[in-house]
Structures are given as C-alpha cells and as structure tokens.
Amino acid sequence: QVQLVESGGGLVQAGGSLSLSCVVSGRTFSTLTMGWFRQDQGKEREFVATISWSNGHTLYADAVKGRFTISRDNAKSTVYLQMNSLKPEDTAVYYCAAGRTSWATRESHLYDYWGQGTQVTVSS
C-alpha cells in the first residue's frame, strides 16, 4: 500500500517561508512523478508544482513561480516544497501527490496516490 505523509505546514506571517516535506512508502519513489496541489476552503483544488522522475523536469503554477521550489531526494523517498515570500492567498491545505506518469504534469487525474494534506496559513 502506497502512503504519502506530508509535514511542515503551519502559521507564518506574510513574507515568511515554510518548507513542506512528503515521505512516500510502499512503492519505488524514484519511478514516481511527484506533485504538490493546494485547496482553500470553498475553492477547487489547484496545481502548485511538480517534478518528474524521468528527467527531474519541474513545472510551477504561475501564482507561485519564482517563490516556490520543488525538489526531491530519491534516497530519502521524499519530495520537498520550499515556499518563500508567502502571501495570504497562499493559505490552503497542501497535498502531496504521486503518479506513475513519466512526465511532469499539472493534471491531477494523472496522479495515482495522495496524502492527507497539511495546513498552511499565511497571516497578513
């Protein structure tokens, strides 16, 4: 059984930073494309960032480009999301996702496994 466990969420002031982690177990991490999505109350889930397993290619949502960085450590079966210059509109539950697709993708339906989410709250 594949499990994804996120950590690192919390409360931060606008302009601050947070680092999220997601540990994967139950499947060979190095063959999974990893993504981060987020969902605020009353809104649809939206893509944040992704990193492929095949070539390490990354994609970012326009709203976070230049502020967030996704990375992975295959030896630790962990994907990270470094979030800098946080804004109140970044407030959401952040979900880690894993997919067997070879390519970095924004499409949530291409991810096969999901974590439970971690809350990020940015105060103004």
pLDDT in tens, 18-27: 999 999 999 8
Residue 12, pLDDT score:
98
Residue 27, pLDDT score:
87
In 3D space, the residue among 71, 79, 75 whose CA is nearest the CA of residue 113 turns out to be 79
In 3D space, the residue among 91, 95, 84, 89 whose CA is nearest the CA of residue 118 turns out to be 95
Tell me how far apart the alpha carbons of residues 25 and 6 are, in angstroms, rounded to a whole number.
Answer: 12
- What are the tokens at 78? 């962990």
Give the residues of the chain that fall short of pLDDT 70. none
Task: Say how many Å lie between the first and final Cα of the chain, rounded.
Answer: 40
